[in-house]
Amino acid sequence: MDYSNLEEAYKIELETNPAPWSKDNFFSSFEVGHNSIVCKKDHKIIGFLIFSLIQNESHLLNIAVLEKWQRKGSGKMLMNAFIKQSKVLGARKIFLEVRSKNTNAINFYSKFNFMKDAIRSNYYTGSNPDDAVLMSLDI
């Protein structure tokens, strides 16, 4: 993702996330140097993934795919690219947090062999509170 993609990607964030990042958080993630990947169809972004890398650990921060493109392989392509890129950048482990009520996402990550490590109670706050399931993958 580059700066010219941010507005388009942020629209996907707003459409797909029940508690979307603020526009400031979304844009500052790019500015602080987080890594990102986009999935495009006919030159339009249909999904994105944002991650950070600290030493030998990669942290999945955000992933979203437009609803009409979900369950058609876009998320799988993003995750495969993310895992490969994390390896190339020297990561040995990937971490993520996911809402405990988001069983579709938990099942999706499980297909990539992510393991459930722990629960963080009341991790997500605001109008849609939830616990977080912490998951990891050794790569």
pLDDT of residue 126: 83
Count of structural domains within the chain: 1
Q: CATH number of the domain that 123 lies in?
A: 3.40.630.30
pLDDT at site 16: 94
Question: What are the φ and ψ backbone dihedral angles of 33, each rounded to 5 degrees?
Answer: 95, 15
**pLDDT in the model for residue 120:** 97
Q: Is 92 strand, coil or helix? A: coil
Task: Tokens for 74, please give them.
Answer: 């876009």
Q: Please, are residues 74 and 63 in contact by the beta-carbon 8 Å criterion? A: no
Q: The pTM is what? A: 0.93
SS3 (DSSP) at 51: strand
- Residue 118 phi/psi, 5° resolution? -165, 175
State which residues of the chain have pLDDT below 50.
Answer: none
What is the pLDDT at residue 6?
93
Query: Which sign, positive or negative, has the C-alpha torsion 108, 102, 32, 114?
Result: negative
Q: How far apart are CA 45 and CA 6, in angstroms?
A: 10
Q: Give residue 86's domain range.
A: 3-138
pLDDT value of residue 100: 97
